[in-house]
Each structure stands twice: as structure tokens, then as C-alpha cells.
């Protein structure tokens, strides 16, 4: 999985690309292939340290949309291939 990670607060140069394994969805969770992620004022504030939402390093992004590619146990109200969207869920700057 490819992600954008913030390893230190500051200028946009602090944004680093990272590659690692795709996570497996846990119970009641879905793994989503992100097709759109919002880049807005809050995301810029997270990079420069105005908002501290998670300990460093972390993947920013708080809104997005995509398609479900895997489901965890008990996530039976969703289906693989379903289109989904969300707001204020940290970690959207990722692609599996």
C-alpha cells in the first residue's frame, strides 16, 4: 500500500511517500481502495502542526471516497465493490 506520511511538522517538504503492506480489515471494518481524497485547509494545518490529531508519523487526510476491496468479519451490511464516502476519518492519503 502506498501512503503519504507526515514524519515531522513544517513545510510541504515534510510530506513523504511510504510503501508498505496493505492492512487487513478487522471485525466490522472495510478495506477501501481510495479514488478521491480531499485536500483542504485542515490537511494543511495538520502538516504544519496547527492541528495535532495523531502522534508522528501518521497518514493525514480526513475525507475521501472509493470502493470496498475487502471486508472484515461482521461487516455484512457492506459488499465488496460497494462505493463509499466518508468525512473526518484520519488516514485517507493512502492507496492499496
Q: What is the pLDDT along the chain (96 residues), one digit of tens a residue?
A: 889 888 899 988 888 899 988 889 999 999 999 999 988 888 888 888 888 778 899 888 889 999 999 999 999 899 999 999 999 888 888 875
- Structural domains counted in the chain: 1
Burial 41-57 (b: 16+ CB within 10 A, else e): ebbeebbeeebeeeeee
Side by side, the strands of the sheet bearing 30-37 are 30-37, 63-71, 83-87
CATH number at residue 42: 3.90.180.10
Residues spanned by the domain of 30: 2-95
pLDDT value at position 58? 87
* Residue 13 preceded by cis peptide, ω within 30: no
pLDDT value at position 46? 85
All three cell numbers of 48 = 504544519
**Residue showing cell 513544517:** 10
Amino acid at each position: 500500500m502506498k501512503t503519504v506520511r507526515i514524519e515531522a511538522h513544517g513545510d510541504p517538504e515534510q510530506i513523504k511517500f511510504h510503501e508498505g503492506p496493505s492492512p487487513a480489515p478487522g471485525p466490522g471494518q472495510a478495506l477501501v481502495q481510495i479514488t478521491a481524497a480531499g485536500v483542504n485547509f485542515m490537511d494543511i494545518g495538520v502538516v504544519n502542526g496547527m492541528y495535532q490529531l495523531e502522534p508522528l508519523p501518521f497518514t493525514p487526510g480526513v475525507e475521501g471516497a472509493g470502493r470496498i476491496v475487502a471486508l472484515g468479519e461482521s461487516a455484512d451490511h457492506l459488499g465488496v465493490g460497494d462505493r463509499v464516502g466518508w468525512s473526518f476519518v484520519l488516514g485517507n492519503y493512502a492507496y492499496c
